[in-house]
């Protein structure tokens, strides 16, 4: 049987077609490159995809009308910067048609002098492998020669709007389903009840916090500094309750993001840092209200008093 490939004319409404494609949620990347003349380009793209593990190939596409294409075509390498959930402003900055997209942007240089953006979810350094024609776009293939996996919750794009990752509710393990496997007297043990309560509360709360783009150490530091329970570096470790190296790394990241000012012995949140802390408080308060909705205000206050007494506050 002979099969003939024919081009079929379509009469799709472009807006409807784009809206239908928007049902496929994607991550958000910023593609960066620099040619031998030192011209740097960067474009926000959600067309990134993996192609092959052996060899390690990826692809993305760029509009043929883009003024940045020539630099990507000239550069020997480019980088894929997968944005974290906290990098909406960065995504918007590189999505706009402006000459100096790198203004006030902190970055390192990778293979072929391609800019590597900081505080991303992951970064891939790629050697330009091929450029293919794809309708009104150029499809750029890259061979991955190095990558960094920072494990941050990624920024998503769905139906024309930014979104974030949360575990599907069907994946949650309910404590009631496992209760039958434990002896009844175990549920009279206060230590067991407290540890299980924290575990269950954290299982549901932590993904919401991570969806903000902040790691637990960074979020905790923001909340502590905003509450002003500690501003001296020597007091911070006690309040945030995490190892020194994690605290130092969190401080470095928040300073890079412009959320924190390091003043030798003290730390101070910037205006943007205070805003992010308030966002985290709203996430915490919303989750708290959801978990404790079946209890009266008097019950909740008594519970808080008991917890503070146990802590020693």
Percent of the chain with pLDDT over 90: 40
Quick one: which H or E segment has residue 61?
A: strand 56-63
Q: Is the bond preceding residue 55 a cis peptide, omega within 30 degrees?
A: yes
Mean pLDDT, range 99-123, rounded to an integer: 92
Mean pLDDT, range 78-99, rounded to an integer: 90
Q: Which of 10, 49, 30, 28 is nearest to 160 (CA)?
A: 28
Instruction: Quote the pLDDT of residue 128.
Output: 97
Chain position carrying tokens 């390192």: 108
Most confident of the ranges 104-118, 189-203, 244-258: 104-118
Tell me: pLDDT of 221 over 90: no
What pTM did the predictor assign?
0.70
Distance from C-alpha of 248 to C-alpha of 217, rounded to nearest angstrom: 10
* pLDDT band at residue 129 using 50, 70 and 90 as cut-offs: very high
Q: Which of 111-125, 253-267, 275-289 has the lowest mean pLDDT?
A: 253-267
Instruction: Quote the pLDDT of residue 243.
Output: 62
Tell me: pLDDT of 309 over 80: yes
Instruction: Quote the pLDDT of residue 70.
Output: 96
Instruction: Quote the pLDDT of residue 8.
Output: 59
Tell me: pLDDT of 35 over 90: yes
Distance from C-alpha of 224 to C-alpha of 261, rounded to nearest angstrom: 14
Burial (CB count <10 Å: 0-12, 13-18, 19+), residue 246:
middle
Instruction: Quote the pLDDT of residue 1.
Output: 40
Average pLDDT of the chain is 84
What's the DSSP call for residue 24? S
Tell me: pLDDT of 2 over 50: no
Tell me: pLDDT of 136 over 70: yes
């Amino acid at each position: 049987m002979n099969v003939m490939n024919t081009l079929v004319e379509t009469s799709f409404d472009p807006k409807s077609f784009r809206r239908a494609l928007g049902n496929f949620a994607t991550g958000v990347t910023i593609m960066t490159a620099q040619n031998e003349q030192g011209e740097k380009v960067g474009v926000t793209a959600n067309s990134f995809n993996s192609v092959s593990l052996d060899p390690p190939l990826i692809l993305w596409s760029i509009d043929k009308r883009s003024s940045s294409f020539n630099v990507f075509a000239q550069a020997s390498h480019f980088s894929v910067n997968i944005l974290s959930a906290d990098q909406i402003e960065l995504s918007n900055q590189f999505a706009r048609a402006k000459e100096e997209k790198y203004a006030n942007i902190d970055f390192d240089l990778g293979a072929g002098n391609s800019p590597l953006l900081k505080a991303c979810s992951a970064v891939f350094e790629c050697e330009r492998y091929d450029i293919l024609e794809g309708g009104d776009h150029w499809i750029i293939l890259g061979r991955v020669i190095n990558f960094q996996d920072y494990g941050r919750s990624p920024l998503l794009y769905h139906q024309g709007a930014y979104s974030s990752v949360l575990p599907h509710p069907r994946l949650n393990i309910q404590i009631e389903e496992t209760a039958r496997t434990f002896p009844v007297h175990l549920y009279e043990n206060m230590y067991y009840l407290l540890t299980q309560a924290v575990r269950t509360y954290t299982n549901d709360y932590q993904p919401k916090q991570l969806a903000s783009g902040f790691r637990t150490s960074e979020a905790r530091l923001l909340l502590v500094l905003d509450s002003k329970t500690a501003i001296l570096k020597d007091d911070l470790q006690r309040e945030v309750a995490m190892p020194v190296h994690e605290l130092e790394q969190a401080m470095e990241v928040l300073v890079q993001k412009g959320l924190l000012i390091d003043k030798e012995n003290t730390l101070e949140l910037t205006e943007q840092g205070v805003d992010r802390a308030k966002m985290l408080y709203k996430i915490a308060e919303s989750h708290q209200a959801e978990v404790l909705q079946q209890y009266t205000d008097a019950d909740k206050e008594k519970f808080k008093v008991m917890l503070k007494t146990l802590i020693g506050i």
